[in-house]
Amino acid sequence: MPCWRVRALPWSDIAELIRLRNQSGSLLLLFPTLWALVLAADGRPPLGITLIFIAGVFVMRSAGVLINDWWDRDLDRRVTRTQTRPLAAGRVSPITALALFALLTLIAAALLVSLNPLTIALAPIALALAVLYPLAKRVLAIPQVVLGIAFGWGAIMAWAAVRNEVGWPAVAIFIATIFWAVGYDTIYAIQDKDDDDRVGIRSGALLFGRWVWVAVLFALIMMTAVLAVVGVALHLTAPFYLTLIAAALWFGYQASRVKQGVSRAEAFGLFKQHVWIGALILGGIWAGLLFP
């Protein structure tokens, strides 16, 4: 039947489906993974494993946003920011999108074959989180927690790939990533607050209302505190703590801007700043390991 036919997609639609032109999400998924890799390997992560995880992050983030659009295709038509996405606009059929998702999943699986059995065993959980996260916004008041679990799972897998165990520092980075995602994705959700309220999508931006800046600041400071505990336990040196102080000051600035009220464009700009914060913390971890 024609409705089940998988047709060739224009490159522009594929690029839009996987957010090729906006890799902020990929980087926010990548940095906790790199934090764990660098810590697990005492500052010298194996090149092969590092490249596998970098490629895997790109592929899985692409698969994640694609399946998100598949789940949300009807809702996206009712939200100003998302109504032109390929699935919502009808330029791509749902079955074609699922076929592309299956292809990306196979590529991700192929990347795993050279890793140890523990890491391979942890991978299906990452896939399940990617598939189920879009449903969280329908049932949970703070779906950003599930996003943080999905993004933090890369740290668990990265530690396992290097150490062949799930060490407590990986669990701590996982928890820190949950707090981080609650912070930055609540800022991101400010963009769609009115539309989300109208169509019944839940988010921290709606739940916390006028106190959203307090929730953002609390989540981000908790993320900083958890990472500080990791640093103390693993004997990281002063450069690491200097980067955490810089990040905490940055978080305070962001919370103050949210308190004053931000436009959609400003909210997106604050969200994108977290890519630089992730890079800053990675640099601090490296310096804290390698320099006295």
Region of residue 46 (phi > 0: left; psi between -120 and 50: alpha; otherwise: beta): beta
- List the structure tokens of 188: 């991101």
Do residues 203 and 188 lie in contact, with contact meaning Cβ atoms separated by under 8 Å?
no
pLDDT at 2: 45
What are the structural domain ranges in the chain? 10-290
pLDDT at 137: 86
CATH topology of domain 10-290: Tetracycline Repressor; domain 2 (1.10.357)
Residues with Cβ < 8 Å from 100, sequence gap 6 or more?
9, 14, 17, 66
For the segment 226-251, what is each residue's pLDDT rounded down to a tens digit? 999 999 999 999 999 999 999 999 99
Query: By percentage, how much of the chain surpasses pLDDT 90?
Result: 84
Residue 4 or 52, more confident: 52
Per-residue confidence at 1, pLDDT binned at 50, 70, 90?
very low
pLDDT at 249: 98
pLDDT at 8: 60
For the segment 95-119, what is each residue's pLDDT rounded down to a tens digit? 999 999 999 999 999 999 999 999 9
Work out the average pLDDT over 85-89. Answer: 94
In this prediction the pTM is: 0.93
Q: Which of 276, 183, 175 is nearest to 230 (CA)?
A: 175
Per-residue confidence at 257, pLDDT binned at 50, 70, 90?
very high
Q: Work out the number of other CB atoms within 10 angstroms of the CB of residue 39.
A: 28
pLDDT at 292: 79
Q: Which of 274, 284, 285 is nearest to 144 (CA)?
A: 274
For the segment 166-215, what is each residue's pLDDT rounded down to a tens digit? 999 999 999 999 999 999 999 999 998 888 888 888 889 999 999 999 99
Average pLDDT, the chain: 93
